[in-house]
Structure 1
Amino acid sequence: MDLGLAGRTVLVTGGSSGVGLATVRALLDEGANVATCGRRAEALRQIGAHERLHTAVCDIRDADAVDALVAGAVDRFGGLDGLVNNAGQSRMKSFADCTTADWRDELELKFDGVLHPLRAALGHLRASAAPSVVNVNAVLAKEPSPRLITTSAARAGILNLSKSLSAELASDGIRVNSVCLGLIDTGQWSRRYAEAATEQPYEHWQAALAADRGVALGRLGSADEVAYAIVALLSPRASYITGTTVDVCGGVSRSIA
């Protein structure tokens, strides 16, 4: 199926690895122009060169840097049709382990990761014939974990924000949706496997992790599986979908909302 993304321009934050990188590649495969960013130039270079790809070193907590990123994308491709707010990370701490600085840093990272790109992109999205925003979130937003207390709280706030934005921006024709992830096989899990120093094969370690976390499908998901959902929501073919959440979690979510 032609998703109607050829020739459209999408900005993906945090596109140098994991879900962001998979999304960048999926969009390029669909014929879209893609702008993306990361905090390290070396990681961005590993994406490879492409005539429809614009990259820049950028920390999404720096509003001026985000403004420059969006301006560079628009200068190169002439406009902006989609935004994927993907940049972020998890903080594995309980309440007893968290300092006030931990809370502040986590909330700033999560909210700046949505607010700075959206503010910079909003005028350009309003000029698009089919604008769409996808906020990459986590099932923690609905089913918090005490092991990730700051991240769970921040994720819940972003889910709430996304719903509010979908209502406010609907009059501009801008759709806003969320994709909530479960256990996805990205760099963080391979690092944790290495830190575990187990003799168990990685596939068996993954399966045990999935079982422990209650993943119905019994495995971790892939970044490509998440990218498919993101790209589908960006597509003009999803023109009547806004304010919704797609869980890509292998059935780990027990929430009915």
Structure 2
Amino acid sequence: MDLDLTGRTVVVTGASSGVGLATAKMLIAEGANVAACARDADRLKTAFDGLPVHLGTCDVLDESAVQDFVAQAAEAFGGIDGVVNNAGRSLMARLSETEDRQWREELELKIFSVLHVVQAAQPWLRESAAASVVNVNAILARQPEARLAATSAARAALLNLTKTLSGELAADGIRVNSVCLGLIDTGQWRRRYEASESTLDFDAWSAELAADRGIPLGRLGTADEVAFPIVSLLSPRASYVTGSAIDVGGGIARYL
């Protein structure tokens, strides 16, 4: 199916690896113009070597840097049609292990990494006939994990913010949706595997992890499996979908 993304411009944050990189590559394959940013310039350049993409080094918590990057992307491609807010991380710490500073950092990252980009892109999104924002979130937003106390709370705040944005921006023709992840095989889980010093290979280790977390499909997801619903929500063919949250978690969600 043609997703009608050819020639449309999408900004992707946190694009140097994992879900962000997979999403950007899928968009390029669909014929979209992609403006990709991350904090590590060398890693970003290596990730997109040989691909037609506008790259920018940008910390999404730096409002001025975000505005500059978005403006450069709009100038390079003549506008902006979509935004994928993917930049983020998880803090593996229980409630009793989390310092006040870490609570503030998690909330700041989850909220302002989205607000800065959306606000910067809004003038161009208003001019688009198919404006769409997708915020990459987590099932933790609705199903807190004790081992990720601050991240769970911050994810819930982002889910709430996304719903608010969908209502506020609807009059401008800008759709806003969430894609909520479960356990996805990205760099974070690879690093945790290496830190575990397990005698198992990664496939066996991750299968045990999936069983421990109660994932019905019995495995971790892949970045491409997340990229597909993100790209689908960016498509004009999803023009009546806004304020929604799509779970990509192998069935781990327990809520209705």
- Into which bin does the TM-score normalised by the smaller protein fall? over 0.9
Give the SS at the match of 1:169. helix
What is the root-mean-square deviation in Å for CA atoms of aligned residues?
Answer: 0.9
Distance, in Å, in 2 between the alignment partners of 1:173 and 1:187 is 35
**1:192 is paired with a residue of what secondary structure?**
helix
SS of residue in 1 equivalent to 2:104 = helix
C-alpha displacement of 1:45:
1.0
Give the gaps of 5 or more residues in structure 1.
Answer: none
User: Which residue in 2 is equivalent to 1:70?
Assistant: 70
Q: TM-score, normalised by structure 2?
A: 0.98
User: Is 2:20 the partner of 1:17?
Assistant: no
**Where in structure 2 are the equivalents of 1:90-239 lying within 5 Å?**
90-239=90-239
- The amino acid of 1:125's aligned partner reads L
Cα separation, 2, equivalents of 1:51 and 1:254? 40
How many Å separate the matches in 1 of 2:238 and 2:229?
11
Q: Distance in 1 between matches of 2:48 and 2:96?
A: 43
**TM-aligned CA deviation for residue 4 of structure 1:** 0.2
Pick which of 58-67 and 188-197 moved more: 188-197
Report the Cα distance in structure 1 between the residues aligned to 2:38 and 2:48, rounded to whole angstroms: 14
How many residues in Structure 1 have an aligned counterpart in Structure 2?
256
**Offset at 1:50?**
5.1
- TM-fit CA distance, 1:9: 0.0
Q: Which residue in 1 is equivalent to 2:39?
A: 39
**What are structure 2's unaligned runs of at least 5 residues?**
none
Aligned partner of residue 47 in structure 2, secondary structure: coil
Q: Percent identity?
A: 59
Amino acid corresponding to residue 92 of structure 1 in structure 2: M
The question of whether the paired residues in 2 share the 8 Å contact of 1:32 and 1:52 is answered with: no
| Superposition misfits of 4+ residues, deviation over 3 angstroms | 49-52
Q: Which amino acid aligns with 1:219?
A: R
Match of 1:53 in 2: 53
CA positional deviation for 1:48: 2.7
TM-score, scaled relative to structure 1: 0.98
CA-CA distance at 1:254 after TM superposition: 0.8
Q: What is the CA-CA distance between 1:98 and the residue it aligns to?
A: 1.3
- TM-fit CA distance, 1:51: 6.5
Q: Quick one: distance in 2 between partners of 1:210 and 1:42?
A: 33
